[in-house]
C-alpha cells in the first residue's frame, strides 16, 4: 500500500464526517437560499441583502467588523512586542492568559460588560470617584464594538504571537547591529515576518464579528442590528427559512470573495495552526 493510499485511508473518518456534517449541510442551506417556500427557483432571497433594512445592517456589520479587527490588531502588536521585550515568552503562560477567560460563561461575560458599561455601572462609578465626567455608551454601537473586540481578541493575538515568537532573537539583533532602531526593527523585520499570523488573525476575527448577534443583542440594546441579528430573527422569530438562508449565502459569497485575498497569502496551512 502506498503512503498516499494509506493517507486517504487514515483521513477517511474525517472525510466522511466533513462531507456528512459540513458539506451536505452547506448544500442544504444553499438549496433553501435559492428556492421559495413552494420549491420554485428564485434569486430573491439572496438578493434581499440589497434591500434597505438588510443592506443597512450589512454596512453597519462591515463597519463594526472593520473597527473591531483594527482594534484587535492595534492591541495585539504592542502586547506581542511587550511580551518579547520582557522575555515572558513562555508559550504556556501566554496561552493560559488568553484562553482562560473563555472558561467563564460567554453570555455571562457579555452581561458583565453590560454591568460595567451601563449608565450607572462600574465604569461610571470609577469615573465619578476620579472626578471625571460620566460616559454614556450603554446600548450604543460603541458598546457592541467593545464586546466584540473583547470576544475575538485572543483569536487575533494567538496567531500573531505564534508568528512573532518564531522569529529568532539573532535576526532582530542583527538588524540592530546594522543600525536599525526599535521602530526600524519592528517595521522592517518583525512586522513583515508576522504577516502570515496577521492574515490568519484577520480571517478568524473579521467574518465572525459581523455576525455575533448575541453580543449585539445584549450590549446594543436592540438598537444596533448586525446582519447576524437579522438572520437570527428570520429563523427563530419569523420562520423565514428561505430568506434567512438567502442572507446567509450572500454573506458567505461576500466572505469567499474577500477571504482568499488574505488567506491566500497566509499560506493556508500555517494560518490558524496554533489557535
Partner 1 sequence: MRDRAVNFITRFYLLLIFLFLYSPIAVLMVLSFNDSRSRVVWGGFTLKWYERMFTSPHITDALVTTLALAFFASLLAVLIGFPASFGICMLRRSGRSVMMTLVNIPLLDADIVTGISMMLFFMRFMELSFSSVLIAHTVFCIPYVILALMPRVEAVDWTPYESALDLGATQPYAFLRMVMPQLYSGIISGFFMSLTMSMDDFAITYFTKGAGVNTLSTMIYGEIRKGIKPELYALSTVIFMAVLILLLAVNVATRKKGGETGEGRAY
Interactions with partner 1, residue window 109-128 (CB under 8 A) = 109-113, 115-116, 118, 120-122
Those residues whose C-beta lies under 8 Å from the C-beta of residue 193, and which sit 6 or more positions away, are 163, 164, 166, 167, 171
Residue 216, CA distances (Å) to 70, 102, 147, 209, 219 in order: 18, 18, 8, 10, 5
The residues, any chain, with a CB within 8 Å of residue 68's CB and separated by 6 or more, are: 145, 148, 149, 152, 205, 209
User: Does 87 help bind partner 1 (rule: CB under 8 A)?
Assistant: no
Q: Does 167 bind partner 1 (CB under 8 A)?
A: no
Is 272 a binding residue for partner 1 by CB under 8 A? The answer is yes
Cβ closer to partner 1: 21 or 170? Answer: 21
Question: Cβ distance 160 to 273 under 8 Å?
Answer: no
- Cβ-in-10-Å burial (0-12, 13-18, 19+) of 89 comes to middle
Cβ contact 83:89 at 8 Å: yes
- Please name every residue paired with 100 in a beta bridge, in sequence order, or none if there are none: none
Q: Which of 235, 240, 258, 265 binds partner 1 (CB under 8 A)?
A: 235
**Interaction of residue 263 with partner 1, rule CB under 8 A:** yes
What dihedral do alpha carbons 268, 271, 274, 275 form, nearest 10°? -100
Contact flag: residue 8 with partner 1 (CB under 8 A): yes
CB of 246 to partner 1, least distance (A): 11
Does 75 sit near partner 1 (CB under 8 A)? yes
Other CB atoms within 10 A of residue 82 CB: 10
> Is residue 78 at the binding interface for partner 1, with CB under 8 A as the rule?
yes
Which cell numbers hold the place of 235? Answer: 429563523
Q: According to CB under 8 A, which one of 41, 108, 130, 178 is a site residue for partner 1?
A: 108
**Single residue of 82, 132, 174, 253 touching partner 1 by CB under 8 A:** 82
Site for partner 1 in 190-209 (CB under 8 A): 203-204, 207-208
> Is residue 105 at the binding interface for partner 1, with CB under 8 A as the rule?
yes
Q: How far is the CB of 58 from partner 1 (least distance, A)?
A: 13
Among 232, 233, 240, 258, binds partner 1 (CB under 8 A): 232
Least Å distance between CB 240 and partner 1? Answer: 12
Confirm or reject binding of residue 261 to partner 1 (CB under 8 A).
no
Buried b (16+ CB within 10 A) or exposed e, 212-249: bbbbbbbbbeeebbbbbbbbbebeeeeebbbbbbbbbb
Residues in 13-72 at the binding interface with partner 1, rule: CB under 8 A: 13-15, 17-18, 21-22, 24-26, 28-29, 32
The least CB distance from residue 18 to partner 1, in Å, is: 5
Amino acid at each position: 500500500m502506498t503512503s498516499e493510499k494509506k493517507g486517504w485511508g487514515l483521513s477517511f473518518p474525517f472525510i466522511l464526517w466533513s462531507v456528512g456534517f459540513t458539506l451536505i449541510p452547506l448544500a442544504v442551506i444553499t438549496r433553501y437560499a435559492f428556492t421559495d417556500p413552494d420549491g420554485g427557483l428564485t434569486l430573491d432571497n439572496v438578493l434581499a441583502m440589497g434591500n434597505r433594512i438588510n443592506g443597512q445592517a450589512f454596512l453597519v456589520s462591515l463597519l463594526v467588523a472593520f473597527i473591531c479587527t483594527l482594534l484587535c490588531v492595534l492591541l495585539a502588536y504592542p502586547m506581542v512586542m511587550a511580551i518579547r521585550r520582557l522575555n515572558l515568552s513562555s508559550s504556556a503562560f501566554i496561552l493560559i492568559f488568553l484562553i482562560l477567560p473563555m472558561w467563564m460563561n460567554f453570555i455571562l461575560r457579555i452581561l458583565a460588560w453590560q454591568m460595567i458599561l451601563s449608565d450607572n455601572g462600574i465604569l461610571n462609578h470609577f469615573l465619578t470617584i476620579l472626578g471625571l465626567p460620566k460616559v454614556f455608551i450603554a446600548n450604543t454601537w460603541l458598546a457592541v464594538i467593545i464586546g466584540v473586540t473583547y470576544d475575538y481578541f485572543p483569536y487575533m493575538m494567538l496567531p500573531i504571537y505564534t508568528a512573532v515568537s518564531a522569529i529568532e532573537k539573532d535576526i532582530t539583533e542583527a538588524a540592530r547591529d546594522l543600525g536599525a532602531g526599535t521602530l526600524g526593527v519592528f517595521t522592517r523585520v518583525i512586522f513583515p515576518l508576522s504577516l502570515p499570523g496577521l492574515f490568519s488573525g484577520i480571517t478568524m476575527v473579521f467574518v465572525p464579528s459581523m455576525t455575533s448577534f448575541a453580543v449585539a443583542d445584549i450590549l446594543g440594546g436592540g438598537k444596533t442590528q448586525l446582519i447576524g441579528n437579522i438572520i437570527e430573527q428570520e429563523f427563530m422569530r419569523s420562520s423565514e427559512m428561505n430568506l434567512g438562508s438567502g442572507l446567509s449565502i450572500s454573506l458567505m459569497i461576500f466572505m469567499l470573495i474577500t477571504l482568499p485575498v488574505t488567506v491566500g497569502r497566509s499560506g493556508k496551512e500555517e494560518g490558524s495552526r496554533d489557535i
